[in-house]
Amino acid sequence: MMNAQAVNAHVTDDNNEKVRDVIRKDQRVGVRAVAEEVNLDRGSVRRILREELNMRKACAKMVPKLLSDKQKERRKELCLDLLQRIENEPDLLIC
């Protein structure tokens, strides 16, 4: 078992991004599978998910707990952009 100092050493921006990428590809992936794919121990992956990426397990999916103000603003911008495009291009959503 790793001590807290060793786990902290694995919590880097690079490892955070690797874990985030794995979760983005498949939100149903488990901690063990993420740990194997990014070559980290499970404790480090759990800490990255929980403390660095603010995620938690919900119905067998890793989901963000709360959106940051920056994420909320980005989501709003995307929605407004989509609404504008729909107004300008009425056939945009027709398949």
Q: Give 70-86 as a DSSP string.
A: HHHHHHHHHHHHHHHHH
Under the banding of pLDDT at 50, 70 and 90, the label for residue 26 is confident
Q: Report the pLDDT averaged over residues 10-19.
A: 89
Class of domain 4-64: mainly alpha
Under the banding of pLDDT at 50, 70 and 90, the label for residue 29 is confident
Q: Report the pLDDT averaged over residues 48-62.
A: 75
Q: Report the pLDDT averaged over residues 21-35.
A: 89
What is the pLDDT of the chain when averaged over all its residues? 82
Contact indicator for 35, 42 with CB cutoff of 8 Å:
yes
Domain boundaries, the chain: 4-64, 66-95
Is the model's pLDDT at 62 over the cut of 80?
no
Residue among 71, 39, 33 nearest 53 (CA): 71
